[in-house]
DNA sequence: CTGATATACTTAACAATGTGATACAAATTG
DNA sequence: CAATTTGTATCACATTGTTAAGTATATCAG
């Protein structure tokens, strides 16, 4: 059981942002493996699967995302998928983080892209 | 004395990114109060001064930024300023973080700006 | 020189987030 | 049901974020 402070913290961490962005990109249907693939392909980082589930669990505990369990798919085997969707709080937090970085980067985009 | 692991960690946290961006914007001459002002004005957040110095100290320990002590200014009083500059590692880390977020946001910029 | 005032930096303690290694759960197949 | 496949969960610890103090250094009035 993940414990979360009872005051609302609108700030999301660096990796949390990446996970929320992956959910935004993938839309409904996203689950562990597809999120992992998206993150690896787009960031080029070697991301541990445990790190991802840990972060998904924390984001859900903070009500930034929600989840539902998928139906078992015939011809496949294996445990059911757990699908994730961004909740309102997650969208707001992601939007804030995005605008903050935009504001701090404003006018330096070219330079940053070449650093 | 800040302790840092002896392996190189290229990933910077959420607030560290903001501080590096402030240094990029301000250029040479940046110091505590000017960095704080820039962050507050551009992000709209209430940032504690201690949080900033803590982060500056950690970034310096990781060799991402360097510092020098300024000369005392006549007609002013008060302790000397400590000026900060991004080092090569900081520029690289900031560039990587920027490109990662760009890649994850690609195609969703309008939506993110309105979230 | 000395205390008052202004300016600026530092640290301790704890909370939140990030990470790798390992364990656990559930569905299909034979 | 055992083996295999697919997928999720958790522990332990490292790193980063935050608040609430405290410490240091420069100028000025007297």
Decide if B115 touches A, using CB distance below 8 A: yes
pLDDT of residue B6 exceeding 50, the answer is no
Decide if B51 touches A, using CB distance below 8 A: no
B37-42: average pLDDT: 97
The domains found in chain A, sorted by start residue, are 10-114 (1.10.10.10)
A9-35: average pLDDT: 94
Cα separation of B68 and B39, whole Å? Answer: 21
In this prediction, residue B76 has a pLDDT band, given cuts at 50, 70 and 90, of: confident
Nearest CA in chain B to A10: B45
Average pLDDT, chain A: 91
Nearest one of B68, B99, B65, B105 to B85, comparing CA atoms: B65
pLDDT above 70: percentage of residues in chain B: 91
Q: What is the pLDDT of residue A6?
A: 47
In this prediction, residue B45 has a pLDDT band, given cuts at 50, 70 and 90, of: very high
Nearest one of B115, B107, B86 to A100, comparing CA atoms: B115
Higher pLDDT, A70 or A95: A95
* Contact between A94 and B101 using a beta-carbon 8 Å cutoff: no
In this prediction, residue A1 has a pLDDT band, given cuts at 50, 70 and 90, of: low
**The two three-digit tokens of residue A57, written as one number:** 């669990």
Nearest one of B17, B37, B9, B6 to B91, comparing CA atoms: B17
Q: What is the pLDDT of residue A71?
A: 81
Average pLDDT, chain B: 91
pLDDT of residue B67 exceeding 50, the answer is yes
* Contact between B108 and A11 using a beta-carbon 8 Å cutoff: no
Compute the nearest-CA separation of B75 from chain A (Å).
33
pTM: 0.91
CB within 8 A of A73, min separation 6: which ones?
Answer: none
Q: What is the pLDDT of residue B7?
A: 43
CB within 8 A of B22, min separation 6: which ones?
Answer: A104, B30, B35, B38, B39, B42
Q: Distances from the Cα of B85 to the Cαs of B21, B27, B38, B99, B110, in angstroms? A: 11, 7, 15, 21, 33
Q: Distances from the Cα of B2 to the Cαs of A113, B61, B90, B92, in angstroms? A: 31, 7, 17, 22
Cα separation of A113 and A99, whole Å? Answer: 18
């Amino acid at each position: 059981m993940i414990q979360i402070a009872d005051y609302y913290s609108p700030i999301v961490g660096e990796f949390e942002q990446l996970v929320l962005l992956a959910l935004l990109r993938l839309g409904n249907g996203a689950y562990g493996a597809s999120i992992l693939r998206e993150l690896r392909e787009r960031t080029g980082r070697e991301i541990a699967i445990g790190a991802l589930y840990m972060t998904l669990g924390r984001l859900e505990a903070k009500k930034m995302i929600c989840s539902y369990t998928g139906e078992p798919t015939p011809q496949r085997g294996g445990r059911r998928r757990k699908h994730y969707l961004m909740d309102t709080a997650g969208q707001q937090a992601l939007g804030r983080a995005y605008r903050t970085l935009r504001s701090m980067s404003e006018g330096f985009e070219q330079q940053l892209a070449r650093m």
